[in-house]
Amino acid sequence: MTIESPGELWKDYELIDSGNFEKLERFGRYYLSRPEPKALWDKTLSEKEWNGMTHVRFKAGAGFGKAGKEDSGTWERLRKMDDQWAIRYRGEQKGLEFSLRLGLTAFKHVGVFPEQAPNWEYIYRQTSALADKAKETAQGQAGASARPKVLNLFAYTGAASLAAKAAGADVTHLDSVRQVVTWARNNMEISGYDNIRWIIEDAMKFARREARRGNVYQGIILDPPAYGHGPDGEKWKLDECLNDLLKCVNEILAPADSFMVLNLYSNGYSAVLGETLVKQAFCLKTGYRTLDCGELVLRDGFGKNLPLSIFVRLCR
């Protein structure tokens, strides 16, 4: 099991401090203070120092912490700032660059989960290798595709989709919320990319239909929420659906020269749990070349590691 965090080349994001159930972050030129239930320790900065840096603070609402309403609340402005602004991700690998529009939503989210940067690096690296191999195959076989197909489920505002696109993939981006798909499309445009396929649908329904049609992908990314709703009101509870979803995704992941990334935020899920789920769903018949699991953390300016999600990465 490994512990990973964003690389030093990403200058538009920084976790300044964490503690007392909050985190202070810099996104571009703005500093945001948000609740963080995993920051059990004390802050290093004083409240005066913390507030002196903060442009806007998220205040939790009455539903905060309840199933399906974990992140509801309002923003309190302490200093003047824009409602929307853009940051640039510059990765550790040459060619991995894209832009993300951020904004103050009705929830505590702003349009990006910074701890996911190591997953973006992995997606870019794996997709680039598949794209290079596809080009070699296409040169020797008439009609062969020169681009690997990558499916991003629960794709939110599309950072992982852009990482795959930057590496040369044909990308299908799926989310059940129309507004975030529109947001993702805007991120594609300001990043200078095009031709991502946009799908607004329930992830399980889509995966099952693709399996019936015999469609396969060389890369599949899953970042499911603990709770949610499909576009037609379908209720989503991760504990009840995850095992079936993984088995369904296994049917549409190419049996060779392919990869899968699973990211889980739910409190109580461990990397070992995720690894066991993936082994049972993906590896009993086809096996794998590599299978890695671990935690994604953000390290604040005082060396405190804030664990935010677990990952499992499979390579066939």
2-103, CATH topology level = Immunoglobulin-like (2.60.40)
pLDDT at 211: 97
Indicate if the pLDDT at residue 123 is higher than 80: yes
Residue 142: pLDDT band (50, 70, 90) is: low
CATH 3.40.50.150 is the classification of domain 114-315: yes
pLDDT at 312: 98
pLDDT at 3: 97
Q: Where in the chain is the domain with CATH 2.60.40.1180?
A: 2-103
Rg of the Cα trace of the chain?
Answer: 19
Helix (H) or strand (E) holding 48: helix 47-53
For the segment 2-40, what is each residue's pLDDT rounded down to a tens digit?
999 999 999 999 999 999 999 999 999 999 999 999 999
What is the pairing mode between strands 197-200 and 170-175? parallel
Q: Where in the chain is the domain with CATH 3.40.50.150?
A: 114-315
pLDDT at 36: 96
Q: For the whole model, what pTM was predicted?
A: 0.93
Distance (Å, rounded) from C-alpha 36 to C-alpha 174? 27
Q: Is 247 helix (H, G, I), strand (E, B) or coil?
A: helix
Indicate if the pLDDT at residue 87 is higher than 90: yes
For the segment 171-223, what is each residue's pLDDT rounded down to a tens digit?
999 999 999 999 999 999 999 999 999 999 999 999 999 999 999 999 999 99
What is the C-alpha end-to-end distance of the chain, expressed in Å? 19
Residue 227: pLDDT band (50, 70, 90) is: confident
Q: State the average pLDDT for the chain.
A: 93
Indicate if the pLDDT at residue 259 is higher than 90: yes
